[in-house]
Amino acid sequence: MRPAVVTVERVTLPPGRLSLIGPAVPLPAIAGCVEPQRRLAPHAHFAIRGTIPRTVLRQVAAATYHQVWWPPADEQVYALDRPPVWDNNAAAWVDPDTGEPLTTWADALDALNLQADPEPVHVVRFGRQVHAGGVTPGTVHAERSIGYITKYITKSAADCHKAETDRQRDHLERLWQELRITPCSERCANWLLYGIQPKKAHGRLQAGRCKGKVHQRATLGIGGCRILLSRD
Ligand SMILES: [Zn+2]
């Protein structure tokens, strides 16, 4: 059997956990690594054991997507410097002016279900560039391919590419500012900024200071596991 090395480029991921390959077709054993490109979009390489026609790979990539069904988070209701406040008596986050409790997570999901034509808040797809190449074990090409795939495994995401120009530093800053206020999970404190109490809300939440990996500069935009293995 001839192993194939597949590189998949230009993947745009929203915050949160993701499965990069959907279960559209059964795939043989794979190992992969996700790393940021210089423009900070996630980029993935996979080594796949077996022979798969490239046409099938392209079809699978084109048909693979992931939807995130969350309440809308595109319009910020509260500013970071005047967020909702925790009301101990009500055991709820409330509006800082009116004292009215914010929508609960369950109610926000119910509202989503009642919409006539609901849309997922995030849809993730592979980018257009899917490059596949066959590799024969024991060749120089195989060694190079393994080196290429594993190059960034031992580095933290922030060390894959250093921002060297003002433009790159500004880009990093803009992405951080945006992800700082973007909800990363159902329990993210940032939901408060959109008028929603996150799932299992409690009084210690701090909007804009969620500890989720996706918000941190060292792992910006890459919240899930960077090393992907199938163990079949
Ligand atoms: Zn978060």
What are 85's strand-pairing partners? Answer: 94
Split at pLDDT 50, 70, 90, the class of 222 is: confident
Q: How much of the chain exceeds pLDDT 90, in percent?
A: 48
Helix (H) or strand (E) holding 48: strand 42-48
C-alpha 99/C-alpha 86 separation (Å) is: 9
Domain count, the chain: 1
Q: Which residues are 48's β-sheet partners?
A: 4, 30
Q: Which domain does 182 fall in, by range? A: 4-229
Which of 71 and 231 is assigned the larger pLDDT? Answer: 71
Structure tokens at 210: 């969620």
93 by DSSP, 3-state: which? strand
For residue 223, report the distance from its CA to the centre of ligand 1, in Å.
9
Residues, Cβ < 5 Å to ion ligand 1: 184, 188, 210, 212
Q: Is the pLDDT of residue 1 over 70?
A: no
Tell me the CA–centroid distance for residue 92 and ligand 1, in Å.
19
Task: Give, as one character, the DSSP assignment of residue 81.
Answer: T
Q: Which residues does 202 contact at the CB level (< 8 Å), separation at least 6?
A: none
Q: What is the pTM of this model?
A: 0.79
The model's confidence at residue 151, banded by pLDDT at 50, 70 and 90, is confident
Do the beta carbons of residue 96 and residue 169 sit within 8 Å?
no
